Structure 1
């Protein structure tokens, strides 16, 4: 079979065989993974929930992982990272995604405006290290804010499906009750399972933000638990401070959907970036190489834009770059780097 596929691929060069198959039936693929949208829900303001039926290549996920979803907009394929809310034991061969619609989010706005049952999207396999361990902890604390609810909801659904008997607290922060996705389901889970507590907070209304005292109130056993956190930077920082102060950092597991970067002094920015495969040059600006390439009119592929998915990886042929997350300098030639979290330091040659 492998030899036959290789022969077919040779005969269809220069395009992959899946490019021809999609003209006949978009969901008929040899290697590429795709999904058909089978359900769309826009009932929660500022979000859209999608139910997808993936092709046969989909082999599941671990609770908390993300996947890359691709859509074609004006002839250009755009990839973005989203965390399914499914239990990892879901046997329906369905993927459920809840996406926050960002004001400047190209893909999320496009899907909010155009997604409909029958639409075909591209998929990449689930990945990421933010997931429940194979050996479940005796106690689990799930903390989220805003759209960070999705990976921890996947964890909660998984634990429910497993009949998990340990203590669980699900602590979620939102601006108002109407903005909590799957609100009714969370209430049903808490009512049906005495070992699971769902705590919803609305700081702008009730003034109850996150601090050590709040943590002790909702989960007095937190020091003996494993904690999984995903949310906006202020919440992430508040939780980290509490856990660092209690010397419990090793029990805190995090997933970020906004990149934390090291500030770059404009006085230190000089030199020229050469995108050698395109013959394009640009004066360095101190921004990420991905932003710099886009500003120069190039369209490198990307997904998460924060150093998680590796979609924007390209080769640094020469020169020095700074890691925007750590501030470290890297100068080894002919090395693959992630454009979204690297900035040029002096003259740099990137193979784009």
Structure 2
């Protein structure tokens, strides 16, 4: 009965708030007072490395927690424009009362730089529910191998922290690749876990030191290739590809679980199908030669600023209408030439002449 009354009140309140949802009015009073939206207030800001920021967030009541390895959409308003990006919580899933995000600020990352340079305690962010299939199995593995590179450390760190918090005492190997020791957030914590927990083995490799260490079979031999070991991998494309090839050689592809935080958008070069044609941005009256990259990248190179979110084909923020022409989905390889179709311009590249509503 109570739930029916609550739904009725919600309907009445939102009807009186037309054309704006009730949360748009409540945020004028206090952005942490929400009816439906999930928001979180920044309670702590730490600069663990020269390129990253770690934010501790206190979410509103709508937050239902996350499973280790999942990601959430974070949206911020900058100069009146809402921007969305996806990040994986780094905290253990048992700690549902707060969220910890570690964001690496890339030179071209508008939002990552904003979060590092402008975010202060008291800042309020809007969040989505946690989602994603890159999670630990309900029955924990007898041996767990966590492999990450760069900012891919956060989902697997959440897995490690979750296993430790629940008292899991089976072998866990944590392998991480970074440019230098100074580029590893949580390095002190990882060193302490390596020293104090007999079943946790932390292996850090550095790719831009005097003796650079990129992925090599020896880094996983004896841990990933034993019977029953489950491998969880998140990192940049080069590392992902190298570990996948290793898994194929060792016949353990069925035990490799992956999450990519970037998509390889470089043009696919085929000598039998050279890159040709022009891209016409009909809303902007701009035409440029097709260079093979995604429509989003080519639009940006032409000086246009179409809306986007994840740049990975997840959030649909960049969806535009392809008026004419053929495009190739870089994730699936699928070709589509049906006119007047909505497509995600972050993961579609033109094949020949294309007209797009940008």
TM-score normalised by L of structure 1: 0.89
Residues 70-114 of structure 1, C-alpha deviations (whole Å, 9 max, x = no match): 1111211111111110111114x1100111111111011111111
Indicate the larger mover: 340-349 or 229-238.
340-349
Structure 1 residue 338 corresponds to structure 2 residue 324 = no
Offset of residue 336 of structure 1? 4.6
The residue number in structure 1 matching 2:3 is none
C-alpha change, 1:280 and 1:122, in structure 2 (3 Å) is farther
Structure 1 residue 49 corresponds to structure 2 residue 54 = yes
* 8 Å contact kept, 1:223–1:248: no
Offset of residue 284 of structure 1? 5.9
Could you tell me how far apart the structure 1 residues matched to 2:213 and 2:284 are?
54
* 8 Å contact kept, 1:142–1:227: yes
Offset of residue 122 of structure 1? 1.3
Offset of residue 281 of structure 1? 6.0
TM-score normalised by L of structure 2: 0.88
The residue number in structure 2 matching 1:312 is 318
Offset of residue 26 of structure 1? 0.6
C-alpha change, 1:232 and 1:280, in structure 2 (3 Å) is same
Consecutive unaligned residues of structure 2, counting only runs of 5 or more, are 1-5
* 8 Å contact kept, 1:262–1:324: no
Indicate the larger mover: 262-271 or 22-31.
262-271
Consecutive unaligned residues of structure 1, counting only runs of 5 or more, are none
* 8 Å contact kept, 1:269–1:345: yes
* 8 Å contact kept, 1:271–1:345: no
Aligned partner (choices 325, 335, 344) of residue 329 of structure 1: 335
Structure 1 residue 289 corresponds to structure 2 residue 289 = no
Aligned partner (choices 100, 104, 127) of residue 100 of structure 1: 104
Offset of residue 267 of structure 1? 4.5
Residues 124-168 of structure 1, C-alpha deviations (whole Å, 9 max, x = no match): 111122111222221110011111111100010011111112211
Residue correspondences, number: 348
C-alpha change, 1:333 and 1:54, in structure 2 (3 Å) is farther
C-alpha change, 1:298 and 1:24, in structure 2 (3 Å) is farther
Offset of residue 300 of structure 1? 4.5
Indicate the larger mover: 175-184 or 291-300.
291-300
Indicate the larger mover: 289-298 or 322-331.
289-298
1:181 match: secondary structure: coil
* 8 Å contact kept, 2:67–2:93: yes
Residues 163-205 of structure 1, C-alpha deviations (whole Å, 9 max, x = no match): 1122110011122222211112112222332111111122424
Structure 1 residue 180 corresponds to structure 2 residue 187 = no
Could you tell me how far apart the structure 2 residues matched to 1:351 and 1:56 are?
39
Could you tell me how far apart the structure 2 residues matched to 1:31 and 1:300 are?
28
Could you tell me how far apart the structure 2 residues matched to 1:215 and 1:306 are?
28
C-alpha change, 1:125 and 1:350, in structure 2 (3 Å) is farther
Structure 1 residue 244 corresponds to structure 2 residue 251 = no
Offset of residue 279 of structure 1? 7.4
Offset of residue 9 of structure 1? 2.1
Aligned partner (choices 138, 151, 160) of residue 155 of structure 2: 151
Matches within 5 A, 1:219-298: 219=223, 221-222=225-226, 224-261=228-265, 263-264=267-268, 267-273=274-280, 282-283=287-288, 285=290, 286-294=292-300
C-alpha change, 1:245 and 1:326, in structure 2 (3 Å) is same
The residue number in structure 2 matching 1:5 is 10
The residue number in structure 2 matching 1:31 is 36
* 8 Å contact kept, 1:142–1:152: yes
Could you tell me how far apart the structure 2 residues matched to 1:224 and 1:322 are?
38
